[in-house]
Structure 1
Amino acid sequence: MTEPAEKPRKSWFKSSPLAHGLMLGLFSLVTAGLLAWADQATEAPIAARGADDLAASLAQVLPASLYDNSPATDMRTVTDAAAGPVSVHIAAKAGTVTGTAFELTGYGYSGAIRVLIGVAPDGSLLGVRVLSHAETPGLGDKIEVAKTDWIEGFTGRSLSDPTPDGWKVKRDGGIFDQFSGATITPRAVVGTIRRGLEFFARNQAALTAPLAN
Structure 2
Amino acid sequence: MSLEQIRGKLFYQGLLLGAVALLTSAALALASHVTEVDIKAAEAADLKQSLTQVLPGTYDNDLLKDTVTLPGKDGDVLVYRARHEGKVEAVVYRMIGHGYAGALVCVMGVSREGKILGVRVIKHAETPGLGDKIDPAKSDWIHSFEGKWLGEPVAEKWAVKKDGGVFDQFAGATITPRGVVKAVKQGLEFFEQNRAALLDEAAAEGAVK
TM-score of the superposition, structure 2-length normalised?
A: 0.81
Structure possessing the higher radius of gyration over alpha carbons: 1
Aligned-pair CA distance for 1:42? 1.7
Q: Report the counterpart of residue 180 of structure 1 in structure 2.
A: 171
Distance 1:43-1:119 versus aligned 2 partners, 3 A rule: same
Match of 1:127 among 118, 132, 147: 118
Q: Report the counterpart of residue 161 of structure 2 in structure 1.
A: 170
Match of 2:102 among 111, 126, 129: 111
The whole-number CA distance in structure 2 between the counterparts of 1:38 and 1:106 is: 38
| Aligned 8 A contact 1:106 1:192 in 2 | yes
Q: Report the counterpart of residue 199 of structure 2 in structure 1.
A: 208
Q: Which residue identity does 1:74 align to in structure 2?
A: D
The whole-number CA distance in structure 2 between the counterparts of 1:177 and 1:168 is: 9
Match of 2:47 among 48, 54, 73: 54
| Aligned 8 A contact 1:83 1:199 in 2 | no
The whole-number CA distance in structure 2 between the counterparts of 1:193 and 1:137 is: 22
Match of 1:152 among 143, 165, 184: 143
Between 36-45 and 114-123, report the one with greater CA deviation.
36-45
Aligned-pair CA distance for 1:36? 5.0
Matches within 5 A, 1:29-44: 36=29, 38-44=31-37
SS of match in other structure, 1:64 = coil
The whole-number CA distance in structure 2 between the counterparts of 1:33 and 1:139 is: 50
Aligned-pair CA distance for 1:41? 3.4
Distance 1:181-1:30 versus aligned 2 partners, 3 A rule: farther
Match of 2:67 among 75, 81, 99: 75
Q: Percent identity?
A: 49
Matches within 5 A, 1:6-45: 36=29, 38-45=31-38
Aligned-pair CA distance for 1:39? 3.3
Aligned-pair CA distance for 1:44? 1.5
TM-score of the superposition, structure 1-length normalised?
A: 0.80
Aligned-pair CA distance for 1:32? 7.6
Aligned-pair CA distance for 1:63? 1.6
SS of match in other structure, 2:94 = strand
CA RMSD of aligned residues (A): 2.4
Which ranges of structure 1 fall in alignment gaps of 5 or more residues?
A: 1-22
CA offset digits 1:161-199 (Å, max 9, x no partner)? 000111000111100001011000000000000000000
Distance 1:31-1:127 versus aligned 2 partners, 3 A rule: same
Extract structure 1 runs of 4+ deviating beyond 4 A: 28-38
CA offset digits 1:46-78 (Å, max 9, x no partner)? 11111111111111111232x211112210111
